[in-house]
Structure 1
Amino acid sequence: MGIEFSRGGRKMSSNDFFKGIMDDAVKNAISSYAETLHGKASSVVDPETGKHAPVFVRSIGKEKLTIHTSGSAAFAHALEQRLGLNHGEVRSMNEPGNRERLVYLAHAWEDKHLAKPLAEGLMGLGINVWYDNWEIGSGDSLRRKMEEGLGNCTHFIVLLTETSIKKNWVNEEIDAGLMNAVEGSAKFIGLRHKLPLSAVSPFLKTRLTPEFQPGDEGLHALASDIYGVSKKPPLGEKPRYVETHQSGSTWSAGARVVAEYFVRNSENGQPLEPMATHEEIHQETGLPIPDVRIGTLDLVGAGLLEEHGYNGGDSHFSPKSDLFATFDGDFMDWKPDEDARDLAVHLLNLDTQQADASEVSESLGWQARRFNAAAAYLVSARVVKPIEYMGGGDHWPPAFMLGDELLRFVRSL
């Protein structure tokens, strides 16, 4: 008689059986390591406030962890020292990102028929452009004005044509733009128009030099990567996928748009709701597919989205509970971090070791959608431990285990 293998009441091959055991072992090891890291991190106080700040240790895939904190950048650095990590491995969620962007548009005079519509089109999409016809007036020093534009620009765009690459003046601008790129002060983009890649210099071949696409498609591709406020002639209405996403956070614009999609389309703020493909997100948000792909990649990498692959079909993406704890405050009428403090105090006042989520939600007068985001915040920060069971209803988790971590969190408020 042969040996039958089964897991969870389901029969399977010996290979699948032993693979399942190995996967469980890896998962348990990663979970144990995450608990160890979080235990060490929780003993560190923010040097700027003297209080314990929430720390989020999240799993990415099967074998990776990422660490974020809502504390200061100094706290993130202190965590790296305490945990023996390299600089940059702990990310502060409050880093500034509000530098105004300015595009410097370099071109040959003979290419004005391409440059002017490009400049006007970018302006019409809300992008500030340095264009010589607008910047240089009678009596102005051409070189001084150009140096001012080059010195302030955050994005350097040059129209690469058979004519422009032969112009000494344009090549001087390219050299300046490349120097800014090397120094990290500006991003270099060379737009090739009817010019093969083989025709540009070896150094330019190592830089971003896409084919120039006149019209809306090309303009929107640039607009998704470059965004700024201008004092130039009236700007057009900003694209929908950019308008509500201001600078000031460490998330990419694409990641914020994708996150907003899941936040606004989730009924109860639970894991796995909703599920969507790249195309479905693109259709509802208007975000170009390349930016949808990058945005979902950012969120998967941060441990906030989960990718589900299907044989012969497109991948689907679904939110983890941490996504709502992270982004509800940007797009909903409540702040999960503030609600989490109120929820923690309420739980501590219950003076019990276990609490039912639906009962607590009702006593606070919160709908499940709002309650779940605050609960996810506390679970992710290891302030409370989730108790999961079938039939948990609209609340996740359906119940909590409460301990001294809750006491420490409340005492640090």
Structure 2
Amino acid sequence: MSADDFFEGILDDVFEQLADDLHGKAASVVDPQTGKHAPVFVRSIGNESWTIHTSGSPAFARAVEQRLGLNKGEVHAMNEPAKRERLVYVAHAHEDKSIVEPLAEGLMQRGINVWYDTWEIGYGDSLRRKMEEGLGSCTHFIVLLTETSIMKSWVNEEIDAGLMSAVEGSAKFIGLRHNLPLAAVSPFLKTRLTPEFKLDEGGLNTLAGEIQGISKKPLLGESPQYVQSHSPGSTWSAAARVIAEYFVRNSPNGRPMEPQATYTELQEATGLPTPDVRIGVLDLIGAGLLEKRDYLGGDAIIWPKSDLFATFDSDFMGWQPEKDARDLAVHLINLDTEQVQTDNMYQALGWEPRRFSAAAAYLVSARVVKPIEWMDAAECWPHGFIMGDELLRFVRSF
């Protein structure tokens, strides 16, 4: 192996680790619109950069950007925008127009805009260009599957385009079988929902309801108490917030590695089902707020990092670490020194040690100051700060 190959391999490993770290933090976010985790794709571009996509909502993409410290638009949402007008493209064989035209008219009467070639393509228009415009702007792709249409090469080309839009998340694919047995459709279409369509009021109402997103689910009952106690719209899963609350409330000094708990202890203390405990812990590990050590044949040990207190104290304690960090930064500037011990510093600010540690963690996490740590226990974390121009810049930004 040449030296160039060796160093290129090291670079690839470092780049892959960075991508894994990005994905771990992004995957810990829940979609504020659905309350569920959405898939996130971190794809490398050579060994120089990466692109991030998600099939979650645009609000989820913005939340991921915030979690990762990225600019707006750097995380690409593949789903249609929430306010995008519904436009249905109808693919069909010419011989089936006696079915397609009343279908399109029925959807229009139910408030759904339809791209139907007879209405959209005029004299002198390019057939292909017009169809590409319709395919490019549609939110729902419908193909009428009949004995005639499945034999048409043009219709199959449209199906390919509709399936590609569905894969990319820009349009929903709906195959409607009319007097066609399921066994007659292609193997690939059998993997998608292709219901039998009847051209009557019931069939049109069902189709319109599907396009409009009318839920068929029954009404939800009451959520478990541990879910009800947390804010809807949060970018953290309910389980992650419950686990975070446990560590926040049970840490006497807000120091890293205090307290420590096993999965079993967390389950017993929070009342969460065991799978939710594990997912909540995974979310917080992915976000860089918890750490875990696995033991062969035994329960894992889990503990907080200082960033957890800077992130969640404002939710569960009587102070705001971000605001406190500003007051602490001004206090440090006023000391006019490059290095300081934090013994009893909380008293000068009128805080208890636990509150001081959260504000200090905020400054350390934001790379405003560098922590000084040693092994012996103390009321506050860290034991001291090393300060530079980053602190000055932080204070000037107020």
Taking structure 2 as the reference length, the TM-score comes to 0.49
Taking structure 1 as the reference length, the TM-score comes to 0.48
From the CA coordinates, give the structure whose radius of gyration is larger.
Answer: 2
